[in-house]
Amino acid sequence: MKSCVIGLFCAGVVLIQGLQAHAASFTKVSVAGSTGTGVSSINSNGDLTGSYGTSDGNGHGFIRTADGKIKTFDANGPLSNTSPAFINDAGAVSGGYIDADRLLGFFRSNKGAVTLFDAGGDQVILAGMNNSNVIAGRYFGDDGVRHGFIRAADGSITKFDDPNAAHGTIPRGINDLGDVVGQYTDAANVDHAFIRTADGNFSEFDVQGIGTCTGEGTYAFGINKIGAIVGWCVDSGGQAQGFLRSPKGKTTEFVAPDGVTTRPFAIDEFGNVSGYYFDQNGVAHSFVRSKAGKLIEFDPPKSLTSEAYAIAGQGVAVGPYTDSKGHNFGFIRTP
């Protein structure tokens, strides 16, 4: 029987003093007439995208430009439950929508033209889109296993799996070079991080000291244009700690001081990181971490919970939050 490594943390975790977010400003994002609004992505120009709900129970997409103007849209009609996930610097948006109980993908050009696509299986979930309109994502195949795909700007789709994968490959992010990061699951159901370069070559890595049992491992979530990677690792106690991997392969682990688990989600071109952590009560709160390693925990004013999904433009972070009355909004945190 396979034995498990005992330990509380991935090796080398840096406990960072939490800093107050007193210098930051917050902007609430809400689509007029909605039952709730969430923000998922921001580009370097300050334009963002996300989704909002209406009283009929359907979801719709929106784009908010840097000047605060909001334009709403649907991928395939008002009943398609449109869920934008990413916006690039040109203003193109990609995400998911529902068609006959299947989750499929869409691409919306900066001119507003929408193209629907299917990677060939159920539950198409996007992982990222770069400034060349190249999209990475995953889908469930007929074998019930998750596989990766890349959709080129011309609409052609390349499917892939990490060579070492036995139980699935899950892309999580893509950079402007076309490099994709994510995780694959081996025969023992342990997860490992991978990098797939634009030419299709794979390399794998693990954070030292991770757990070696089912549901444990290393998860790469974001990669910037110079090849710095962020993600988290799960130890044998089931706790997640964040990591930053330099382009040369040096890994630095870190945790939010008030977090039981720490989950970095995104990294911008300057090396700033955003994500969220769960406190001892299981409540999610946001954080940003500067290139210099300073970590700031925060929540938007009057919020109960928040998750900083994306970061761009010198550390501007965005995401959804829930206020004390249970209402959902998006936020922009400007340093």
> Does residue 9 surpass a pLDDT of 50?
no
- Domain boundaries defined on the chain: 13-334
How far apart are the C-alpha atoms of 4 and 215, rounded to whole Å?
12
Whether 22 shows a pLDDT value over 70: the answer reads no
CATH assignment of 13-334, given 2.130.10.10, 2.40.128.720, 3.30.2310.20, 3.40.50.720?
2.130.10.10
16 confidence band (pLDDT: 50, 70, 90)? very low
**pLDDT 10s digits, 33-56:** 999 999 999 999 999 999 999 999
Q: 149 — phi, psi (to 5°)?
A: -150, 160
Sign of the Cα pseudo-torsion (323, 325, 330, 332, in order): negative
SS3 297: strand
pLDDT bucket at 146, cuts 50 / 70 / 90: very high
| DSSP reduced 3-state for 198 | coil
Higher pLDDT, 282 or 238: 282
Distance between CA atoms of 90 and 131, rounded to whole angstroms?
Answer: 7
Nearest to 179 by CA among 213, 145, 225: 225
Find the distance separating the first CA and the last CA of the chain, reported in whole Å: 51
How confident is the model over 86-141, as pLDDT tens digits? 999 999 999 999 998 899 999 999 999 999 999 987 799 999 999 999 999 999 99
Tokens of 218: 């290393």
Beta strand ranges found along 175-327 (DSSP E): 180-185, 191-196, 202-205, 217-223, 229-234, 240-245, 251-255, 261-267, 273-278, 284-289, 295-298, 303-306, 310-312, 316-323
Mean pLDDT of the 230-241 span: 87
Question: 124: closest CA among 104, 144, 145?
Answer: 104
Measured from the Cβ of residue 308, the count of other Cβ atoms closer than 10 Å reads 28
- State pLDDT tens for residues 161-202: 999 999 999 999 999 999 999 999 999 999 999 999 999 999
The whole-model pTM stands at 0.91
